[in-house]
Amino acid sequence: MYEAVHAYPDGSSTVARHARTAAEQGYDGIVVRTRDAVAVDPERAEPAATAEPNATSVTTLREEYDIDIVDAVEIDVETPASAGGSVGNYRPDRTVVCLVGGDDRLNRFAVEEPRVDVLARPMDGSGDFNHVLAKAARDNRVHVEFDLGPLLRATGGRRVRALSDLRKLHEILTYYDTPYVVSANPRTHLELRAPRDLVAAAAAAGFDPEWIRGGLNTWGNIVERNRERRSGSFIEPGVRRGRYETER
């Protein structure tokens, strides 16, 4: 299972702190969705020049904690036009591309754009998520984030509203068989929760444990698929470049 984290400078914890905590909690990997935290060159696997000074190399962290660390980006813009440019810029360089929704226009843009892997936080704002968007996301294989963060960290009326939104989103996603991922959206290693804890919290709120586990596993499926597509042998689904035998 994977968790998608916000690391420094977007979050308050470094990639290393997230990696160590996630490994201790039993995760197979973390998807670092912060734009400048860990832009991994697939050949060198080193932190980008904009990363935190003296940051430990990704390769070293992977070996030390025995956990996968995935280069990603979470695009947070105000208009679809800006989103289109950002997706085009980051898609060739990042293994996972997420786009923050929460606005009707951005939600629609994301689900209609196959280059987007994950529509993040679709109901975290003035926007809504309905059957039209669910079917578009399904057809374009855009995964919709099921964000458990408010369930874990919000209080009072905000938590009640968040739970209501999650129940509505769950109903739509399951009815239309829309691809989805599950995350707690941690911005610090202290907000990381072990998979079993996320499953238990979601189950207490009425969500199917297997459905939650499936969403945590899906991050890894996206990573595997995209790494394969970025490999030199990939041509198109089902077609690979390589040596083959001919009948004599």
Q: Nearest Cα to 3, choosing from 195, 238, 222?
A: 195
The answer to whether the beta carbons of residues 3 and 30 sit under 8 Å apart is yes
| Model confidence pLDDT, tens digit, residues 121-133 | 999 888 789 999 9
| Model confidence pLDDT, tens digit, residues 64-119 | 999 999 999 999 999 999 999 999 999 999 999 999 998 999 999 999 999 999 99
Specify the CATH class of 2-233 in words. alpha beta
pTM, two decimal places: 0.85
The identity of residue 209, as a single letter, is P
What stretch of H or E contains 21?
A: helix 15-24
Beta strands in the chain (DSSP E): 2-5, 29-32, 68-75, 96-100, 118-120, 143-147, 180-183, 234-236, 239-240
pLDDT at position 242, please? 52
Q: What are the boundaries of each domain within the chain?
A: 2-233
Task: pLDDT band for 232, please (50, 70, 90 cuts).
Answer: low
DSSP state of 181: E
